[in-house]
Amino acid sequence: MSDRDPESTRGRILDAALDIFAHKGYYDTKLDEIASESKTSKGSIYFHFPNKERLFLSLVDQFSDLLERQVKDAIAQEEKGMRRVQVALETCLTTFGKYRRPAKILLVQALGLGQPFEQKRMEVNERFAKLIGSYLREAVEQGEIEPLDLEVVSHAWMGAIYNIVIRWVYTGEPEPKRIVTSLLPLLLASVGYEEPVESKEP
């Protein structure tokens, strides 16, 4: 595709930026390298992104969009209530597990950006806390859990998820499967929800 397709060009620039940031880090990556890798030009990069920082933060947005899309697709077939909450949390954690490289770039390298990244991180946390809060509200309305302070709980959950994912990104531990099996029941129990136990045939 040619540079006359702006969306295609923007996508190639983002893909190239992710690859080069992964190998060289934020500060050692040059826009000329991204232009070469994406088979575009420096002018094309500046057309879509005013500077390297904005390009990097756009990768954060791209990953956030992917995460939200995965969650919404996963809960689409679920009934309203705690099942949606559970599936949303599982999907969030397993998506980080599948995309460790972009998660590492965006959660670790971005720390060096200071205030711009802190602002972006807060935006992303707010976005997903509201998403989780909306599913918890449904569970309250369904009578599956008692009324609670949705804002506090959803942000507390996001804090727990963020901290455990950051540790995994840095060290590779605990592996995503352990995170799901250990953290998920803990979060659900924190709002007084116990998974129904299926009756076994004698």
Mean pLDDT of the chain: 86
Answer yes or no: is 201 within a domain.
no
Say yes or no: 4 and 83 in one domain: no
Do residues 138 and 79 both lie within one domain?
yes
- CATH number for the domain spanning 31: value is 1.10.10.60
Do both 109 and 155 map to the same domain? yes
Residues 165 and 138 in one domain: yes
Encode pLDDT of 152-161 as tens digits. Answer: 999 999 999 8
pTM of this prediction exceeds 0.85: no
State which residues form the domain around 149: 57-190
Q: Does one domain contain both 84 and 179? A: yes
Q: Do 41 and 132 share a domain, yes or no?
A: no
Work out the burial of residue 9: count CB atoms within 10 Å of its CB; fewer than 13 is exposed, 13-18 middle, 19 or more buried: buried
**Residue ranges in the chain modelled with pLDDT below 70:** 1-4, 109-112, 196-202
Q: What is the pLDDT of residue 46?
A: 94
Q: Look at the chain and report how many structural domains it folds into.
A: 2
C-alpha distance from residue 15 to each of 34, 41, 57, 70, 125 (Å): 9, 14, 13, 19, 24
Say if 199 falls within a structural domain.
no
Residue with tokens 């190998």: 23
Same domain as 82, residue 22: no
**Domain holding 150: CATH number?**
1.10.357.10
pLDDT of residue 8: 87
Q: What is the pLDDT of residue 200?
A: 42
Is 81 inside a domain boundary?
Answer: yes
- Residues 91, 169: one domain? yes
Distance CA 71, CA 65 (A): 10
Tell me, yes or no, whether 30 and 61 share the same domain.
no
Contacts 24+ apart (CB under 8 A), 159-162: 160/186, 160/187, 161/89, 161/92, 161/93, 162/125
* pLDDT at residue 28 in the model: 87
Q: Are residues 111 and 163 in the same domain?
A: yes
**How many Å apart are CA 139 and CA 10, to the nearest integer?**
40
What pLDDT does residue 42 have?
93
Question: Could you tell me if 73 and 31 lie in one domain?
Answer: no
Asked if 157 and 99 sit in the same domain, the reply is yes
